[in-house]
Homo-oligomer: A and B are copies of this chain.
Amino acid sequence: MNRVINNPDLVVEDMLRGILAAHPELHAAPENPRVVSHAHARQKDRVGIVTGGGSGHEPAFIGYVGRNLVDAVAIGEIFSSPTAKSFFEAFKAADSGAGVACLYGNYAGDNMNVKMAIKLAEREGIRVRTVVANDDAASAPKDEIEKRRGVAGEIVMWKVGGARAAQGATLDEVIASARKAVDSTRSIGVGLSACTIPAVGKANFVIKDGEMEVGIGHHGEPGILVQPTVPARDMARLMLDRLLPDLPFARGDKVSVLLSGLGATPVMEQYILYGEVAEYLREAGIDIQFSFVGNLFTSLEMMGVTLTLTKLDDELSACLAHPCQSIGLNVGDAR
């Protein structure tokens, strides 16, 4: 394990110190360093957007705290849920009185801690409503969709929720739009190597060289298929053949495509795969309106990619086009 770290048990603390030093617009909560909010959070009458999750997925989650995006984030240990207390304090850091939309991913620990945090918030008169992303199409069958995990589709959910809040929507309206974003989104991952949590010191799963794991989760959760690695063209088709019928996406649909590297896959290869995805979607008569390619939601130094498609209507398109600024995602005012 050849890493750029100090104490393997303190990687989250050390990372947060670096992020706060590099980005003066981000602030840690006074008494809880595991809660970070944006300088523009708690704007009068604006619904607060909160998320949270385990570390090791950077730029997610903290990197989507920004202008017209997430207002406050609760930060967990690597691949572990933040505490209920951190979620609660993130709600406080985001609430201006207009309520809080907690937009997070479907994992047992996060579900439990968000539920407890909401009880704490209710006692203080903070209204919180949630949307739980379950965009990972490979993580459970469609008839058990409530069991599916949230993955990179969360970025689309945050973008939509943040844009609606910035447009002056009410809490119920923000929740409805974020819910629509999730319901219109499907993701799938392909893993080409495992990753190693520094405090553990060795990978807790194995992907053999020359093999790929289709449907792998963001923490190495088992996929649906292990097979020899195929060329990028076949990888794109294999992923889309899972995603397209699942929603389903159909000829004439307008979509956004979000393609993320999992950490160690070069940007070059992400774009090679994107080219194949775009070609297959064109053949299928599906119109790409927005593209986001890069290391957007990672798993430490895992090799591999995730592909996220969102079916767009006018409302979702307007939300994706809305300007935003953050570490992970920038949409310019002048575009």
Q: Which residues of A contact B (CB under 8 A)?
A: 1-7, 11, 14-15, 17-19, 21-23, 55-56, 58-59, 63, 67, 192-193, 207, 209-212, 229, 231-233, 235, 263-276, 278-279, 288, 291, 293-295, 298, 300-301, 303, 305, 323, 325, 327, 330, 332-335
Contacts and interface: CB of A to CB of B under 8 A. Distances in A.
Contacts of A264: 263-264, 301, 303
B330 A3 contact: no
Contacts of A298: 266-267
A219 B292 CA distance: 28
A202 B7 CA distance: 32
B5 A278 contact: no
Contacts of A333: 332-334
Contacts of A55: 268
14 contacts: A2-B211, A4-B192, A4-B273, A4-B305, A5-B232, A11-B268, A14-B272, A17-B275, A19-B274, A22-B291, A58-B271, A266-B298, A267-B295, A325-B332
Contact of A193 (B2, B59, B211): B2
Contacts of A271: 15, 18-19, 22, 58
Contacts of A207: 2
Contacts of A23: 291
Contacts of A229: 2-3
A153 B293 CA distance: 24
A325 B324 CA distance: 13
Given A274-B22, A298-B267, A231 B6 contact: yes
A58 B231 CA distance: 20
A231 B269 contact: no
B235 A278 contact: no
B58 A267 contact: yes
Nearest to A275: B18
A2 B303 contact: yes
A207 B269 CA distance: 23
Contacts of A63: 267
B267 A232 contact: no
Nearest to A6: B231
A3 to B, nearest CB: 6
A278 B58 contact: no
Given A6-B232, A266-B56, A275 B325 contact: no
A298 B232 CA distance: 21
A155 to B, nearest CB: 14
